[in-house]
A = this chain, B = another copy of it.
Amino acid sequence: MTRFHLNLSLMTPGHFRHAWRLPHVDPLAYLDIDYFRRLVTIAEDAKIDAVFLGDGPALRGEIEDAPGTGLDPLILLGHLAAVTSHLGVVITSSTTYNSPYNLARRFQSLDHVTKGRAAVNIVTTGTPAAAANFGLDEHPDKDTRYRRAHEFLDVVTRLWGSWEPEAIIADKESGRYAVPERIHRIDHHGEFFSVAGPLPVPAGPQGRPVIVQAGGSAGGLELAARFADVVFTVAQTRDQAVAFRDDIRRRAALAGRDPDEVKVSLGVVVLVAATAEQARQRAQDLYATLPIERLSTVLTGNLGLPPGRFGPDDPISAADLPPPVPDQAFSAGFSASTRALIGQAPHTPRELVQRSAGGAGHRLLAGSAEQVADDLEAWYDAGAADGFTIMPADTAVDLESFATLVVPILQKRGLFQSQYDQATLRGRLFGREPG
């Protein structure tokens, strides 16, 4: 394979969550199905591999200054798949707050309904607000969540495989529809789940839906090495990204898999303008939307720094940082990514917040279409990723700009597909199907 994969986030109003404040942005777009239909049409015209939505099952604390997660991604992306024919749909789902039988059946069903474009992005969900919506007084700790996620995916993948390919015979003469001996119960009894199976639905066009894993903690990496087809990751420095990809490939090999069976998709927040100068100006406009005091406080807190010690414009150097906490509540991947940046040179909270689109962690890449294409090519050539999850800075502008200005450059360079040459998402990721 000499080209990379592109996955496109539909997060609205953008990965700068406060982009709704800009004059051209509709603050209710995140609830508007016609807007999303337009986005996926643009994405499919550009031959993007898949679209994606992050998620968490709770109202975010930031609702006072920005829209939260909003619509359930299973509903939104399942619906949007009907107005496209090739675009994959990567749907974030929590293993902590779903049951494996329902999830397995829903994604197996989605694979039929989309003719092989279903992908589940497995997360364990890290917020106490979610726990309180599901009857838990306390959020389960990271270790417990990942033990549950392991068992969850073990059950889900066995349910997906519960029908042999020749189970349905549909012999009209005898009236025999299926051979029950070819449809297997799984009879799982584990720490978290007891699930008899089988599913009421046979395997879909992909053999099984694509599994994406997004957590960067030790538990997340183990889960990815064992189950993931694709790993979403975050990096502010190229060296960090290369090291992560080497590590995940090594872990996959240790788990007995071919390292090429695990694709790394690196998140990058993209802002595209006609010229570098216009991109700088648009970045300034987005920075001006940020509640910088609050975001600086959140960021320094996530780094384990004492409250009040660093204002938005006080440089933080590597020596200021406490050692990383292994089972911290904050995302391990985002934490490592910010630390890597400070490791290169001191940065102020303001700079860190701006370079990560508000402090969520992913690297902001702002420039002309050529500059953006050059950057992605350089990171790809360095072995930083097998593809990219493109996160529009301001989705109302940057999704279309990326699709119509950057993608043609990547296609001309032979870095990205100019047509969909496989029917299923799995086929495009691995050049063969089913997996």
CA distance A74 to B109 in the complex (A): 9
Query: Which of B97, B177, B289 lies in contact with A65, CB distance below 8 A?
Result: B177
Which B residues are in CB contact (< 8 Å) with A183?
59, 63
Residues on the B chain within 8 Å of A56, using CB: 200
A77 to chain B, nearest CB (A): 10
Scan residues 175-232 of chain A and give those whose CB is less than 8 A from a CB of chain B: 175-180, 183, 193-202
A76 with B113, Cβ < 8 A, contacts A64-B177, A68-B200, A83-B82 known? yes
Question: Would you call A129 an interface residue if the criterion is a C-beta within 8 Å of the partner chain's C-beta atoms?
Answer: yes
Closest chain B residue to A167, Cβ basis: B63
| Neighbour of A27 across the interface among B23, B170, B202, CB < 8 A | B170
With A59-B183, A68-B200 known as contacts, the answer to whether A109 contacts B175 (CB < 8 A) is: no
Between A135, A172, A197, the greatest number of chain B beta carbons within 10 A of the residue's beta carbon is seen for A135
In the complex, chain B residues whose CB is within 8 Å of the CB of A291:
175
Distance in Å: Cβ of A97 to nearest Cβ of chain B: 7
Task: List residues of chain B with CB within 8 A of the CB of A71.
Answer: 109, 112-113, 201
Q: Could you say which of B22, B114, B172 contacts A20, with CB atoms under 8 Å apart?
A: B172
| Total copies of the chain | 2
User: Is there a chain B Cβ closer than 8 Å to A106's Cβ?
Assistant: yes
A78 CB-CB contact with B under 8 Å: yes
Flag if B33 contacts A195 (CB, 8 Å): no
Q: Give me the 10 closest cross-chain CB pairs, A-B, nearest first.
A: A82-B82, A132-B196, A27-B170, A72-B109, A75-B109, A71-B109, A101-B133, A135-B194, A59-B200, A21-B172
- Chain A interface (Cβ < 8 Å from any Cβ of B): 18, 20-23, 27-28, 31, 33, 56-60, 63-72, 74-76, 78-83, 97-99, 101-102, 105-106, 109-110, 112-115, 129, 132-137, 168, 170, 172, 175-180, 183, 193-202, 289, 291
Q: List 11 A-B contacts (CB under 8 A).
A: A20-B177, A21-B175, A27-B168, A31-B112, A59-B197, A59-B200, A67-B177, A70-B109, A75-B106, A97-B101, A129-B196
